[in-house]
Amino acid sequence: MTLMESFNNKLRGVVKIPELRSRIIFTLLMFLVARVGTFIPAPGIDIDRLSAMTAQNDLLGFINMFSGGAFQRISIFALGIVPYINASIVFSLLAVIIPKIDEIQKEGESGRNKINQWTRYVTIFIAIMQGIGVCVWLTSAGLVIEPGFRFMLVTITILTAGTVFLMWVGEQISVNGIGNGVSLLIFLNIISRGPSSIVQTIQLMKGSKFIIPVLIAVAIAAILSVSVIILFQLGQRKIPVHYVGKGFGVRGGVAQNSYIPLKLNTSGVMPVIFASVMMMIPSLLIRSLPTTFPYRDYLVLFFDQKHPVYMILYALIIIFFSFFYTAIMFDPERVADNLKQGGGTIPGIRPGEETVEYLEGVVTRITWGGAIFLAAIAILPMAIFTALGLPVFFGGTGIIIVVGVALDTVQQIDAHLVMKEYKGFL
């Protein structure tokens, strides 16, 4: 059977499962709603000048990528889903600092619902603050047709309402669609900017005798990056487990071997998303400072995407969130306790504390590899584009997010297919 025939069989399998088919259709409809909103601009803004500024500024272009082009039009979805991500980061950090929040998270469904509700409230607050910042920046840049209190009130209300609506869309996709709604919205925004980013890069290089070799080199690098990311995202470190006793698929108490699958990149794409959002905040704050502020020009230079200081800080934050998110996702003590209660042991490792230490050591080594890999993929394209004298219209950050979210979504589809006795995509 050829690859295309195999793919067609999977598609027929998707069509034959009513629940999966309805989930995919629902997700696509929500995608349509999210894209339509990016083309509805807020009133009272010089859109043409703003679009020109966005095309010439790497930071604004990066923000525009996360909003799917909504920022350059200051549409109703100009803030995107970023305030919700910021709120999620806040509660993730608070859960480590404040034990009470961590206890609430462990209460099960009711605890998670309570945290989600608080996250929504914080999202609204952050959206209002960011809306105020956007209005102040638009006014100071001379992009507002009739500046004043009325403009501020209307624009802040529109931008906040747009973020709240996108937050609802993301939650609806997670519940009634397929995949993680927030991640899929970011995925949608990034891929929607892909064609225009490629066109901008080609236009910038018009007249250069190296345009064809450079474009070929970039295409090859992108293909290799995608291939390596897929291999790394699907890679596992299998820890062997030895079970003894009945009730574990054994006969007559005979021992059976199994394994604990540890993903090489347990945290997925979340560290890159978190780090990208975190690096936007100081860049925007610094650029909003008065020109007379001491050392402003140096700070603006250091937090430019092309500067080595920015790249180093970006890589360090990715590494930090890789460990942070892995610690949330994987609890060695809980795994060791479950093994002990189930009669499972890791060969050569005693149950209890020794198992916990062994698992912590393995996860730490894996996380170092995954964190460094994510950081390298995220910053290398920026360094290459800078060396070639090209603006960073697209790069490792977008590739990691797109590939990672696509793989997670395909695996969820695969799980539905397996449940209905269809062979999965992967």
Q: What is the pLDDT of residues 67-107, one digit of tens each?
A: 888 888 889 998 888 889 888 888 887 877 888 887 887 77
Q: How many of the other CB atoms lie within 10 Å of CB of 6?
A: 11
CATH number of the structural domain spanning residue 268: 1.10.3370.10
Residues 173, 243: one domain? no
Residues 159, 251: one domain? no
Residue 342 lies in a domain: yes
SS3 289: coil
Which residue among 187, 204, 221 closes a domain?
Answer: 204
Mean model confidence pLDDT for the chain:
81
Residues 145, 32: one domain? yes
Output the pLDDT for position 248: 45
Q: How many of the other CB atoms lie within 10 Å of CB of 98?
A: 12
Residues 336, 292: one domain? yes
Residue 246 lies in a domain: yes
Signed CA dihedral, 93, 134, 30, 417: sign only: negative
- DSSP string computed for 295-339: THHHHHHHTSTTSHHHHHHHHHHHHHHHHHHHHHH--HHHHHHHH
pLDDT category of residue 316 using cuts at 50, 70 and 90: very high
* Residue 124 pLDDT > 90: yes
Q: 46 is in which domain, residue-wise?
A: 13-204
Least confident of 81-85, 102-106, 357-361, 402-406: 102-106
Residues 196, 240: one domain? no
CA gap 367, 378 in Å, rounded: 16
Output the pLDDT for position 205: 66
Residues 280, 179: one domain? no
Number of folded domains in the chain?
2
Residues 122, 250: one domain? no
Residues 61, 158: one domain? yes
Which residue among 150, 182, 204 closes a domain?
Answer: 204
Residue 145 lies in a domain: yes
Residues 114, 171: one domain? yes
- Highest-confidence range of 49-53, 98-102, 146-150, 215-219, by mean pLDDT? 146-150
* Residue 249 pLDDT > 50: no
Residues 153, 194: one domain? yes
The answer to whether 71 and 63 are in contact (CB under 8 A) is: yes
pLDDT category of residue 6 using cuts at 50, 70 and 90: low
* Residue 288 pLDDT > 80: no
